[in-house]
Amino acid sequence: MSDQTPSGDITLDAATLRVLAHPMRLTLLEHLRQRGPATARQLAAHYEIDSGAASYHLRRLAEGGLIEEDLERGTRRDRWWRARHRSSVHQPADSDPDERQDSRAYLHAVVLAYSEQLRRLAYTAPLLPDEWYEASMFSNYTLRLTPAELNDAKSELAAVVKKYRDRDNGAGVPVALQLHAFPLLEPDDDA
């Protein structure tokens, strides 16, 4: 990839699901997607982790084809990394039944990474400039749906996101849009 902007989406397979089944790897990957190239040292400082751990996670992401070294920056001692894709796509229904365990481990890591992102947001959201504060949205909806209706809703929401991504002209700042859709089942519920 020659430019600095990650291109396209990647559909996660069993191997990439295993690589991303760690919340810190998801966090580092999203950082590179949202903020552009960075070094392990910069990421370690930002997320308050050991630089050796950051380097290890970055190497695992690179081995999985999710990031690559940015050879136009840095030195052999100070390696820069960049994302190869702008987002990851995983549809559990499309997974091979043999990948279910990897898919569920990925889901677990996603929830942990998003919860950490929200925890960090708790400290910065009150400091948003008025314009961004007023444009933000913090909502929680509970719907009563069948699996088929949830699939329809996912398709419609994905189309809306695609509309805004396709017209991305580089203006503005990265905005996190997280939509979670899962049944609110208790262990003793009849599913």
* CATH number (domain holding residue 45): 1.10.10.10
Q: What is the pLDDT of residue 187?
A: 65
Confidence class of residue 1 from pLDDT cuts 50, 70 and 90?
very low
**CA 19/CA 60 separation, integer angstroms:** 7
Structural domain including 113 reads: 9-127
User: Is 115 domain-assigned?
Assistant: yes
- Token pair in block for residue 74: 């840095």
User: Is 153 domain-assigned?
Assistant: no
**CA 49/CA 81 separation, integer angstroms:** 17
User: Is 132 domain-assigned?
Assistant: no
Through-space distance between the first and last CA atoms of the chain, rounded to whole angstroms: 45
Rounded (to 5) percent helix, strand, coil in the chain: 50, 10, 40
User: Is 2 domain-assigned?
Assistant: no
Q: Between 116 and 64, name the one with better pLDDT.
A: 64
Q: Which residues are within 8 A (CB) of 71 and not within 5 positions of it... i.e. 6 or more apart?
A: none
User: Is 187 domain-assigned?
Assistant: no
Q: What is the pLDDT of residue 190?
A: 60
Q: Give me the number of domains the chain comprises.
A: 1
54 phi/psi in degrees, rounded to 5: -60, -45
**Per-residue pLDDT tens digits for 118-168:** 888 888 888 889 998 898 888 888 889 999 999 999 899 989 988 988 887
User: Is 169 domain-assigned?
Assistant: no
User: Is 117 domain-assigned?
Assistant: yes
**Per-residue pLDDT tens digits for 13-40:** 999 999 999 999 999 999 999 899 999 9
User: Is 53 domain-assigned?
Assistant: yes
Q: What percent of the chain has pLDDT over 90?
A: 46
Q: What is Dmax (Cα atoms) for the chain?
A: 57
Q: How many CB atoms are closer than 10 A to CB 88?
A: 20
Instruction: Name the DSSP class of 9.
Output: E
Among residues 30, 18, 72, 24, the alpha carbon closest in space to that of 51 is found at: 24
Rg for the chain, CA atoms, rounded: 18
Q: What is the pLDDT of residue 189?
A: 61
